[in-house]
Amino acid sequence: MDISYRLADIAAQFGGRVLGDGEVRISQITTLEKAQSNHISFLTNSKYRAQLAHTSAGAVILGEVDAAATDLPRIISDNPYAYFARVSALLNPLPEAKPGVHSAAIVGAGAQIDPTASIAAMAVIGDGAVIGAHSVIGAGCCIGAHTVIGSHARLYPQVVIYHGCVIGDNLIAHSGAVIGSDGFGIAMDEGHWIKIPQIGRVVIGNNVEIGANTTIDRGALDDTVIEDGVKLDNQIQIAHNVRIGAHTAIAGCAGIAGSAVIGRYCLIGGGARILGHLQLADHVEIAAHTLVGKSIREAGSYAAIFPFSKQEDWRKNAVHLRHLDDLVGRVKALEQEIESLKRK
Amino acid sequence: MDISYRLADIAAQFGGRVLGDGEVRISQITTLEKAQSNHISFLTNSKYRAQLAHTSAGAVILGEVDAAATDLPRIISDNPYAYFARVSALLNPLPEAKPGVHSAAIVGAGAQIDPTASIAAMAVIGDGAVIGAHSVIGAGCCIGAHTVIGSHARLYPQVVIYHGCVIGDNLIAHSGAVIGSDGFGIAMDEGHWIKIPQIGRVVIGNNVEIGANTTIDRGALDDTVIEDGVKLDNQIQIAHNVRIGAHTAIAGCAGIAGSAVIGRYCLIGGGARILGHLQLADHVEIAAHTLVGKSIREAGSYAAIFPFSKQEDWRKNAVHLRHLDDLVGRVKALEQEIESLKRK
Amino acid sequence: MDISYRLADIAAQFGGRVLGDGEVRISQITTLEKAQSNHISFLTNSKYRAQLAHTSAGAVILGEVDAAATDLPRIISDNPYAYFARVSALLNPLPEAKPGVHSAAIVGAGAQIDPTASIAAMAVIGDGAVIGAHSVIGAGCCIGAHTVIGSHARLYPQVVIYHGCVIGDNLIAHSGAVIGSDGFGIAMDEGHWIKIPQIGRVVIGNNVEIGANTTIDRGALDDTVIEDGVKLDNQIQIAHNVRIGAHTAIAGCAGIAGSAVIGRYCLIGGGARILGHLQLADHVEIAAHTLVGKSIREAGSYAAIFPFSKQEDWRKNAVHLRHLDDLVGRVKALEQEIESLKRK
pLDDT in tens, B261-312: 999 999 999 999 999 999 999 999 999 999 999 999 999 999 999 999 999 9
Q: Taking the mean position of all CA atoms in its chain, how far away is CA C195? A: 31
Tell me the CA distances in angstroms from B237 to A271, C196, C327, one per residue in order.
Answer: 10, 23, 38
Is the pLDDT at B168 greater than 90? The verdict is yes
Average of per-residue pLDDT across C81-97: 95
Average of per-residue pLDDT across C172-192: 98
Is the pLDDT at A63 greater than 70? The verdict is yes
Backbone angles phi, psi at A48, to 5 degrees: -100, 10
Is the pLDDT at C142 greater than 60? The verdict is yes
- For residue C47, the model assigns a pLDDT of 84
- Among residues C39, C134, C174, C240, the one annotated as catalytic is C240
Mean pLDDT of chain B: 96
Is the pLDDT at C46 greater than 90? The verdict is no
Distance in Å from the first CA to the final CA of chain A: 89
Is the pLDDT at A1 greater than 90? The verdict is no
Whole-angstrom distance, CA of residue A53 vs CA of residue A296: 46
- For residue A45, the model assigns a pLDDT of 84
Closest residue on chain B to C322 (Cα) = B304
Q: Would you call C307 and A290 a contact, using CB atoms and an 8 Å cutoff?
A: no
B-contacting chains (≥3 CB pairs under 8 Å): A, C
**Residue-wise pLDDT tens digits, C305-340:** 999 999 999 999 999 999 999 999 999 999 999 999
- Note whether C83 and C61 are within 8 A (CB): yes
- For residue C54, the model assigns a pLDDT of 93
Is the pLDDT at C1 greater than 60? The verdict is no
Is the pLDDT at A84 greater than 70? The verdict is yes
Task: Report the DSSP pairing between strands A124-125 and A142-143.
Answer: parallel
- For residue C342, the model assigns a pLDDT of 85
CB contact, 8 Å: B122 with chain A?
yes
**Residue-wise pLDDT tens digits, A28-40:** 999 999 999 999 9
Is the pLDDT at B2 greater than 80? The verdict is no
Partners of C86 in the β-ladder? none
Q: Would you call B211 and C186 a contact, using CB atoms and an 8 Å cutoff?
A: no
Instruction: B31-40: list long-range contacts, CB under 8 Å, 24+ apart.
Output: B31/C221, B31/C222, B32/B57, B32/B60, B34/C221, B34/C222, B38/B4, B40/B7, B40/B10, B40/B87
Report which secondary-structure segment, H or E, holds A316.
helix A311-318
Whole-angstrom distance, CA of residue B91 vs CA of residue B96: 14
Tell me the CA distances in angstroms from B340 to B334, B335, C306, one per residue in order.
Answer: 10, 9, 36
**Residue-wise pLDDT tens digits, B9-44:** 999 999 999 999 999 999 999 999 999 999 999 998
| B3: confidence class by pLDDT, cuts 50, 70, 90 | confident
Return the HEC string of B101-135.
Answer: ECCCCEECCCCEECCCCEECCCCEECCCCEECCCC
| B47: confidence class by pLDDT, cuts 50, 70, 90 | confident
Contacts with C251 (C-beta within 8 Å, 6 or more apart), sequence order? A184, A257, C233, C267, C268, C269, C270, C271, C272, C288
- Note whether C207 and C185 are within 8 A (CB): no
Whole-angstrom distance, CA of residue C261 vs CA of residue C280: 6
Residues 244-263, chain B, touching C (beta carbon < 8 A): 247, 249, 251-253
Q: Taking the mean position of all CA atoms in its chain, how far away is CA C216? A: 13
The three-class DSSP label of residue B164 is coil
- For residue B189, the model assigns a pLDDT of 96
Closest residue on chain C to A235 (Cα) = C235
Is the pLDDT at A344 greater than 80? The verdict is no
Contacts with B23 (C-beta within 8 Å, 6 or more apart), sequence order? B6, B7, B8
Mean pLDDT of chain A: 96
Tell me the CA distances in angstroms from B21 to A246, B29, B339, C56, C156, one per residue in order.
Answer: 73, 17, 77, 83, 53
Is the pLDDT at A310 greater than 80? The verdict is yes
Q: Shortest CB distance from C184 goes to which of B34, B85, B233?
A: B233
Tell me the CA distances in angstroms from B80 to A165, B43, C185, one per residue in order.
Answer: 54, 7, 14
- Among residues A39, A134, A146, A240, the one annotated as catalytic is A240
- For residue C107, the model assigns a pLDDT of 98
List strands edge to edge, sheet with A243-244. A112-113, A130-131, A148-149, A166-167, A202-204, A224-226, A243-244, A261-262, A279-280
Distance in Å from the first CA to the final CA of chain C: 89
Whole-angstrom distance, CA of residue C186 vs CA of residue B92: 16
- Note whether A58 and A38 are within 8 A (CB): yes
Report which secondary-structure segment, H or E, holds A196.
none
DSSP structural state of residue B276: T
- Angle at alpha carbon of residue A87, lines to A86 and A90, rounded to 5°: 90
Report which secondary-structure segment, H or E, holds B289.
none
Contacts with B106 (C-beta within 8 Å, 6 or more apart), sequence order? A102, A104, A121, A122, A139, B123, B124, B125
Return the HEC string of chain C.
Answer: CCCCEEHHHHHHHHCCEEECCCCCEECEECCCCCCCCCEEEECCCHHHHHHHHCCCCCEEEEEHHHCCCCCCCEEEECCHHHHHHHHHHHHCCCCCCCCEECCCCEECCCCEECCCCEECCCCEECCCCEECCCCEECCCCEECCCCEECCCCEECCCCEECCCCEECCCCEECCCCEEEECCCCEEEECCEEEECCCCCCEEECCCCEECCCCEEECCCCCCEEECCCCEECCCCEECCCCEECCCCEECCCCEECCCCEECCCCEECCCCEECCCCEECCCEEECCCCEECCCECCCEEEECCCCCEEHHHHHHHHHHHHHHHHHHHHHHHHHHHHHHHHHC
**Residue-wise pLDDT tens digits, A259-268:** 999 999 999 9
CB contact, 8 Å: A281 with chain C?
no
- For residue B45, the model assigns a pLDDT of 84
- Note whether C218 and C183 are within 8 A (CB): yes
Whole-angstrom distance, CA of residue A147 vs CA of residue A145: 6
Task: Report the DSSP pairing between strands C267-268 and B142-143.
Answer: unpaired
CB contact, 8 Å: A334 with chain B?
yes
Residues 124-183, chain B, touching A (beta carbon < 8 A): 124, 140, 142, 145, 158, 160, 162-163, 176, 178, 181-182
Q: Which is higher by pLDDT, B96 or C264?
A: C264
- Note whether A82 and B185 are within 8 A (CB): no
Q: Shortest CB distance from A142 goes to which of C158, C233, C305?
A: C158
Closest residue on chain B to A79 (Cα) = B189
Distance in Å from the first CA to the final CA of chain B: 89
Contacts with C120 (C-beta within 8 Å, 6 or more apart), sequence order? A124, C97, C102, C105, C136, C137, C138, C139, C140, C141, C157
- Note whether B142 and A138 are within 8 A (CB): yes
Q: Which residue of C158, C163, C165, C195 is the best one to mutate when testing the B interface, meaning the one whose CB has the most B CBs within 10 A? A: C195
Whole-angstrom distance, CA of residue B97 vs CA of residue B153: 12
Task: Report the DSSP pairing between strands C100-101 and B172-173.
Answer: unpaired
Active site residue B240: yes
Report which secondary-structure segment, H or E, holds A172.
strand A172-173
**Residue-wise pLDDT tens digits, C236-258:** 999 999 999 999 999 999 999 99
In angstroms, the separation between the Cα of residue B234 and the nearest Cα of chain C is 7
DSSP structural state of residue B268: E
Average of per-residue pLDDT across A120-144: 98
Q: What is the largest CA-CA distance in chain A?
A: 96
CB contact, 8 Å: C86 with chain A?
yes
- Note whether C63 and C76 are within 8 A (CB): yes
| C343: confidence class by pLDDT, cuts 50, 70, 90 | confident
**Residue-wise pLDDT tens digits, B91-149:** 999 998 999 999 999 999 999 999 999 999 999 999 999 999 999 999 999 999 999 99
Q: Would you call C292 and B271 a contact, using CB atoms and an 8 Å cutoff?
A: no
**Residue-wise pLDDT tens digits, B200-217:** 999 999 999 999 999 999
Backbone angles phi, psi at A146, to 5 degrees: 65, 10
Closest CA to C32 of C70, C76, C83: C70
Average of per-residue pLDDT across A245-253: 98
- For residue A48, the model assigns a pLDDT of 86
- Note whether A291 and B280 are within 8 A (CB): no
Q: Shortest CB distance from A247 goes to which of B191, B294, B301?
A: B191
Whole-angstrom distance, CA of residue B159 vs CA of residue A284: 36
Is the pLDDT at C49 greater than 70? The verdict is yes
Whole-angstrom distance, CA of residue B161 vs CA of residue A140: 13
- For residue B342, the model assigns a pLDDT of 85
C-contacting chains (≥3 CB pairs under 8 Å): A, B
